[in-house]
Structure 1
Amino acid sequence: MTRKLKRFLILLDNDSLLYLPGSFLSGRVLLELEEDTPVLGLFFYIAGEGVIRFADRGQGKINDKENYIDFSMKLLGDGPSGPGARIVVLSPGVHSFPFKLGLPLGLPSTFLGKHGWVQYFCKASLKEPSGVVHKNQQVFIIMNPIDLNLEPAILMKPFLCEIEDTIGIPCLSAGPVSCRIRLDRGGYVPGECICIYAWIENNSKVPIKKTRAVLTETIQYTSKSKMMETETRELASLQKGRVEAGSTYQWRNEMMCIPPLPPTNLRGCHLIRVQYDVYFIIKPKGLEKEIKLQLPIMIATYPVRNNDGTLPRKKGTNYPTVLPMFRPWMNTNTLKK
């Protein structure tokens, strides 16, 4: 049929290929034929799946998969497609076969990672009596948004964390270092700035070389309820200088802006988890161990609005007009934990 079949396309009505859970996926399968063509049927299939793949030391390859959509329909042909199926003859020219179906609620967002992905696609297959099957495939994107207006109100309250640790050589330079850090809230969207307040008291005899605040993205890959791989990357950071022994230092309303991030919502996916954190890191001089405070935050899609529906005015906010769908930084800026 290769010479008879000029075109075989899956055309979605939404040119952006971007869909929300619960919306309708519609379009048509288009065939263009040069002559009369007998076929058994035209079949249409929609799938959504999460997959992880990587090599595990000593165990070979590890693969795992889960399905979110698995739906098929027949666009052309009647009855069974096996022996004795009725043959349909398509005339020369263009034939269009429309489809429309509702996508389930609660689908995890499309995601592409180093060791796994969440992907959605539709396939069409055209079967001829000789047994030859012609196939085509079209990927589409699911974005499951997170609206901060619908999340727990505690995310909009200040987020406080504190720690006390000892640095230095016992009986010589050892002493406690206290740190208290506060974020203005626990939920943000890309384009907003995280307001950071910190108070560091160095009661040791070892100077603190620097303090850093780092926004990180952590991707965890799980198979059969076992954590198989974890990646953590820096997305933004701020740094302040030296804190002398026996002195204190404060961060006052320092602002770390959140870059444009893919709208990641993998709720419903049990293989891949994405988490965002603010780490506050105290780096003493010399070979002393770092002191780290971890503050988990939520990166959402839609920002909090005022009661009248307007966006609150906040210094440093610059909402991007378009969010990327993929992560160009996947192979860079790995944070050593």
Structure 2
Amino acid sequence: MGKLQEFNITFTNNKVVYGPGESMSGAVKIRTGTSLQYKAIKVFCQGSCGISTKMNDSSWTLEEQYFNSTLSVADKGILPPGEHSFPFQFLLPVAVPTSFEGPFGKIVYRVKVAIDTPRFSKGYKAQKPFYILNMLNLNEVPDIESPSYAVTTKKFSYLLVKTGTLMLKTCSDLRGYVPGQVIKLATEIHNKSGKDTGCVLASLIQKVTYKTKRAIFDLRTIAEVEGAGVKAGKHAEWREQIIVPPLPQSVLAGCSLIDVEYFIQVSLKSPEAAVTLPIVIGNIPLNLSPSVPVPTSPGPSLVPGPAAA
């Protein structure tokens, strides 16, 4: 580090997560063993998004900047040996997206500091990330507390000459959840054939779209549960639960390069059949009223209840 024995950035109260429109503050800490001549000491507060067509590549194909603020905390002078502290404060913009990091892009926020030294002298730079959480209130999403339904019917052949029909129906108790909340699923399977089905699988899937010239779709199974198949000619009801783990919220409001979506997929193997239920992941949960009746359409048998032990 040359003449500098310490050169770092600290945030007030060690706070690293902020909301849009908040004031953030901190200090640049410098300790020198000898005198250091400088032309200026500047602090930068920056927010941007970058995406790439290559995984884990920081050479972005497309970028967008949300803000870039500069504060000069010291003009031309000499730092004597010892410890020095330069406070800073920035007001974050009101409309900025939540921090996000994925394999093909990220939304990042950071504070940087640069010591500009005279010509032919070594300059010094440091940086520290911080994070923005733009709250998504599920109570503001239309129809979010209604159950979500999906159904599919599939005709298939087996044993070369025989045919059968399979109907798969599923329902979630809500259309939006927060991390730590339980997704309750109710599924009906009608196996109108002479062949047993394969297992049934319920998956919570994240879909991230990176809007490069040719969009890149990154699909990840976040959590899943498995149930037994259905015997030939039988009807079965399957009730299961999935706990939502810590996840980025749906909809990165203010970002035009990255979209985040979630859905529940219930699928069968042999024959292959699947239905999907779009859901919203937020960070302010629904204020559910116990007096609100649970819709029964299209069928009361699809209203989720507690998972079977």
The normalised TM-score by structure 1 is: 0.78
> Which has the higher mean CA deviation after the structures are superposed, 117-126 or 35-44?
35-44
Cross-structure match for 2:70: 72
Identity of aligned residues (%): 28
| Aligned-partner Cα distance in 2 for 1:23–1:109 | 13
Deviation at 1:35, TM superposition (A): 4.0
Task: Rate the CA distance shift 1:52–1:16 in 2: closer, same or farther, 3 A.
Answer: same
| Aligned-partner Cα distance in 1 for 2:124–2:81 | 17
Deviation at 1:171, TM superposition (A): 8.6
AA in 2 matched with 1:217: Q
Cross-structure match for 1:266: 252
SS at match of 1:40: strand
| Aligned-partner Cα distance in 1 for 2:145–2:118 | 63
| Aligned-partner Cα distance in 2 for 1:187–1:195 | 11
SS at match of 2:126: strand
Task: Rate the CA distance shift 1:291–1:181 in 2: closer, same or farther, 3 A.
Answer: same
In the TM superposition, what are the counterparts of 1:165-314 in structure 2 within 5 Å? 165-169=154-158, 172-224=161-213, 226-227=214-215, 229-252=216-239, 254-263=240-249, 266-284=252-270, 288=271, 290-305=272-287
1:115 is aligned to 2:104: yes
Cross-structure match for 2:293: none
Deviation at 1:270, TM superposition (A): 2.2
In the TM superposition, what are the counterparts of 1:68-107 in structure 2 within 5 Å? 68-77=66-75, 87-107=76-96
Cα RMSD for the two superposed structures: 2.6
| Aligned-partner Cα distance in 1 for 2:10–2:306 | 44
| Aligned-partner Cα distance in 2 for 1:121–1:89 | 27
Deviation at 1:169, TM superposition (A): 4.9
Given that residues 168 and 188 in structure 2 are in contact (C-alpha distance below 8 angstroms), is that contact kept between their aligned partners in structure 1?
yes
Task: Rate the CA distance shift 1:240–1:307 in 2: closer, same or farther, 3 A.
Answer: closer
SS at match of 2:238: strand
SS at match of 2:254: coil
Deviation at 1:36, TM superposition (A): 3.9
In the TM superposition, what are the counterparts of 1:123-134 in structure 2 within 5 Å? 123-131=112-120, 132-134=122-124
1:142 is aligned to 2:132: yes
Deviation at 1:62, TM superposition (A): 6.8
Matched positions, count:
289
SS at match of 1:209: coil
| Aligned-partner Cα distance in 2 for 1:103–1:51 | 19
1:29 is aligned to 2:28: yes
| Aligned-partner Cα distance in 1 for 2:200–2:33 | 71
Task: Rate the CA distance shift 1:148–1:54 in 2: closer, same or farther, 3 A.
Answer: same
> Which has the higher mean CA deviation after the structures are superposed, 182-191 or 200-209?
200-209
Task: Rate the CA distance shift 1:299–1:164 in 2: closer, same or farther, 3 A.
Answer: same
The normalised TM-score by structure 2 is: 0.84
Task: Rate the CA distance shift 1:124–1:223 in 2: closer, same or farther, 3 A.
Answer: same
Gaps of 5+ in 2: 291-304
SS at match of 1:149: helix
AA in 2 matched with 1:65: E
Task: Rate the CA distance shift 1:138–1:265 in 2: closer, same or farther, 3 A.
Answer: farther
Deviation at 1:199, TM superposition (A): 1.6
| Aligned-partner Cα distance in 2 for 1:68–1:276 | 25
AA in 1 matched with 2:81: P
Cross-structure match for 2:51: 52
| Aligned-partner Cα distance in 1 for 2:95–2:177 | 21
SS at match of 1:174: strand
Deviation at 1:12, TM superposition (A): 0.9
1:213-265 deviation digits (Å, cap 9, x = unpaired):
111112222214x31x222222222222121232211124x222222334565
Task: Rate the CA distance shift 1:37–1:211 in 2: closer, same or farther, 3 A.
Answer: closer
Deviation at 1:306, TM superposition (A): 5.2
1:167-213 deviation digits (Å, cap 9, x = unpaired):
11599322322222111110011222111112221223332122111
Given that residues 109 and 264 in structure 1 are in contact (C-alpha distance below 8 angstroms), is that contact kept between their aligned partners in structure 2?
no
